[in-house]
Structure 1
């Protein structure tokens, strides 16, 4: 059995001045353990932590999908406004959600993601239920504003949380599970909506009102369980629903030590974010490149997802069947995304995986854009399946960004920034499908093709630039003598991924 020994140490580990509140408890520089022991610990974390994390994102996306279900049931018509209000509401949501997301990772660090996440979901649940009492466009805007404010910080705080449990080459796979759970929620949402919307007329309520009431109660209940289940760190798993903890002392030390040996920066994973970290992040061209990928690659999902039940309905299916037929779309995305991200982790490659996935995406939208009028509804529905079966590249891009961003404070801000970007694009994406272009949205789908083509190019360019940067830095570093390297380490002002010896993953 292979033994992971203690030979990989870091000079600053034994500095007593470093023993502060930022340091991870449980790190043991001299700890030796076998590969099987590490795999055992990772499997335990997957079972006891990741299952709860997946529940949290499942609940959140179940609720996010509820608006499109409510729209298909006639929410705008019942409240006396048109799709322009829905589109404006989506743009408002995107701006507020993005601002909240940027702060979410920072607030998660400040209050502890194990507390910040469930409390946010609890508040979110109460606000979601209040959708049932919307009476006009004004209350619609107000509730969407408040909901986005509360919900925006959850995902970036979750990214920070997962970074404290998983190694770099494990993260893309776990993030694919995370977004896969969102897709599963979207699929279940369509099936549940097909049933719940038939409660229309019960107690004098519309079907969409029942939808929000039921989802609100479910969310509040789930938040209580999450609060009792989330541990502070791998070294602190006792309490709440976890009883005496799900890692013994040796396993807890393995869980922490393996993280630090994979990424020395994580020894001080509890470091709080400073203004310097924020400035370093927003002025780093490498980070901005990943944000540009986010803007372009994710844009098609907003109009397509928001109007998917309506689009399917335009093929000739009734409202209940249309909502139910969204389920296969989300299941296909879930499967392809998990397979793609797992393969990316296994072969240690990011750029080509992203470009290939988007090429698949492009094909589906090309079908929707150019299929002639009168095409059989089964074929047009198949086009939506082609789109949905393309692997979702967002978790891949996030893993790529975080593993190439350092130090910890900067990585924390970048986690919030990418989720911010992943929602800010909604300000314009929600306007791509216009009422005058309905129901085929041919003009909108042609615009989407332009975004996808740009995203493919950005993935390839980002890979090329990382390769070239590695070569340039390696040439400079390898040309230095040992004394020059020691002098560099002692005097350089370069930190994190600005250091000459930092190697970018491509």
Structure 2
């Protein structure tokens, strides 16, 4: 029986591995192509990584601000903090697709750099928050301004790399997110010591320093971020890494050899609404989206309350922020391992499921052991939860986009995937409520149940593909 395009989507594991290996071997022998790839590795990838790092810093520093008395100073309780984060994630979801349509029209060297500057400015303005209303408004605007950065950065990478290379590069890109998650608490443990200096409270220094750093990164992007393989010159300079005509040809040749049906994306491309609708309604993608929603809902409260949870275990403010960073450091290794496994084995679906099962087992263990151990063991459990929370994330994203045939479809698929991730984060803000203080029994159960939903979704995906 012949296989239609509808039936072949997400059947990457079923494709001819001999053909894939042959193409891979040819590309690995292309000396000029490998040189061009090294230029991309030393320019596009680290710059997008840096942008994602400050993106996460500006979202995550609220967690450390809470340990510095932020909620008390603005007269807000835990429910208000959760609502603020919910509004931030809602803003991201609302503008996710429009933001990426703009990216397609203007190109990454303009839009990504401008976006980083704008959300850095909004993050800095949080130093003026005085009350509950101001907090809710500032978080809403931060979400609206951050909308589209993650799918835009991932899509940009997909125009520079072959399929076999992409999962590992996306994993490296997400080191920026997890790195921001990691160093946020570590930086805060030092910045909060500036409390009362120059008339500013510790949390104000936190928003100010990290917001200004974000705007500085945006300026760097304006000067150094290449546009696309066919127009690699940065917006405001020739860049540090120069792409010669021979390099451009080699990059384009590599993409064409990798997949003759996959066209490169560059600035100026328009995505028709018909393609948007066709991509959105494709039923085989929705089990992936539901899975992403479920897992990310479990990560959401961890990004906001991990330092506060560690304080509740009996550690002081500085210790709690420093210890909260350990899980993020371990997450970097987890992400890299699963990304490496995916690229080396080319069994991307199985790698995704393996990573999610590992997280589920950690949650079950934490729920069972948590009430019966001391504070250091509890810290170890929370650290493991943070380390495995989204180790599957980059690999799953790569699996979704590698089965898209054209740039427009790929861009919208990434956006839909990220929108479901952000929607999960939005729902997850309600897992930890004011009546959960000071211990975390009920949230453990909710996190576990959400991950069980995710596992059922993965089983559903397997059954659909088996039909």
Task: Tell me if structure 2 keeps the 8 A contact 1:176–1:338.
Answer: yes
Aligned position for 1:445: 444
Task: Tell me if structure 1 keeps the 8 A contact 2:263–2:406.
Answer: no
Task: Tell me if structure 1 keeps the 8 A contact 2:159–2:264.
Answer: no
Compute the displacement of 1:405 (Å). 2.6
Separation in 2, partners of 1:299, 1:244: 40
Which has the higher relative contact order, 1 or 2, with Cα contacts under 8 A spaced 6 or more apart? 2
1:154 to 124, 129, 149: 149
Q: Aligned ranges for residues 460-471 of structure 1 at < 5 Å?
A: 460-466=459-465, 468=466
2:224 to 187, 210, 229: 229
Separation in 2, partners of 1:244, 1:299: 40
Task: Tell me if structure 2 keeps the 8 A contact 1:181–1:334.
Answer: no
Aligned position for 1:215: 210
Separation in 2, partners of 1:220, 1:72: 25
Separation in 2, partners of 1:238, 1:413: 26
Task: Tell me if structure 2 keeps the 8 A contact 1:109–1:160.
Answer: no
Aligned in 2, Cα 1:345/1:32: closer, same or farther, shift over 3 Å? closer
Task: Report whether the alignment pairs 1:201 with 2:196.
Answer: yes
Deviations 1:98-121 (A, max 9, x none): 112232222210111221101011
Separation in 2, partners of 1:379, 1:393: 25
Aligned position for 1:253: 249
Aligned in 2, Cα 1:342/1:80: closer, same or farther, shift over 3 Å? same
User: Cα RMSD over matched residues?
Assistant: 2.0
Aligned position for 1:7: none
Query: SS of the counterpart of 1:300?
Result: helix
Compute the displacement of 1:157 (Å). 1.4
Task: Report whether the alignment pairs 1:89 with 2:84.
Answer: yes
Task: Tell me if structure 1 keeps the 8 A contact 2:100–2:152.
Answer: yes
Compute the displacement of 1:204 (Å). 1.9
Aligned position for 2:136: 141
Compute the displacement of 1:439 (Å). 2.8
Q: 5+ unaligned residues in a row in structure 1: which ranges?
A: 1-30, 470-506
Aligned position for 1:409: 408
- The structure with the largest alpha-carbon Rg is 1
Separation in 1, partners of 2:264, 2:387: 40
Deviations 1:328-363 (A, max 9, x none): 100111111111112101111122212221222123
Aligned position for 1:349: 347
Separation in 1, partners of 2:241, 2:210: 31
Separation in 2, partners of 1:412, 1:222: 24
Deviations 1:185-232 (A, max 9, x none): 221111110010111111222100010111111111110110111111
Compute the displacement of 1:369 (Å). 2.3
Separation in 1, partners of 2:262, 2:145: 28
Task: Tell me if structure 1 keeps the 8 A contact 2:77–2:434.
Answer: no
Aligned position for 2:328: 330
1:307 to 305, 308, 313: 305
Q: Aligned ranges for residues 244-393 of structure 1 at < 5 Å?
A: 246-267=242-263, 269-270=265-266, 271-371=269-369, 373=371, 375-390=373-388, 392-393=391-392
Query: SS of the counterpart of 2:422?
Result: helix
Task: Tell me if structure 2 keeps the 8 A contact 1:100–1:420.
Answer: no
Aligned in 2, Cα 1:168/1:463: closer, same or farther, shift over 3 Å? farther
Task: Tell me if structure 2 keeps the 8 A contact 1:330–1:388.
Answer: yes
Query: SS of the counterpart of 2:242?
Result: coil
Separation in 2, partners of 1:458, 1:341: 22
Compute the displacement of 1:368 (Å). 3.3
Separation in 2, partners of 1:32, 1:154: 30
Separation in 1, partners of 2:339, 2:462: 16
Aligned residues: 438
Farther-moved stretch of structure 1 (187-196 vs 229-238): 229-238
Separation in 2, partners of 1:349, 1:394: 15
Deviations 1:444-465 (A, max 9, x none): 1111112212223333443454
Compute the displacement of 1:244 (Å). 8.1
Farther-moved stretch of structure 1 (414-423 vs 386-395): 386-395
Aligned position for 1:121: 116
1:98 to 80, 93, 98: 93
- The normalised TM-score by structure 2 is 0.89
Farther-moved stretch of structure 1 (351-360 vs 341-350): 351-360
Separation in 1, partners of 2:105, 2:438: 47
Deviations 1:449-503 (A, max 9, x none): 122122233334434543x36xxxxxxxxxxxxxxxxxxxxxxxxxxxxxxxxxx
Deviations 1:156-200 (A, max 9, x none): 211221111011221111111111121112211111100101111
Q: 5+ unaligned residues in a row in structure 2: which ranges?
A: 1-25
Q: Aligned ranges for residues 15-94 of structure 1 at < 5 Å?
A: 34-94=29-89
1:185 to 180, 183, 194: 180
Aligned position for 1:486: none
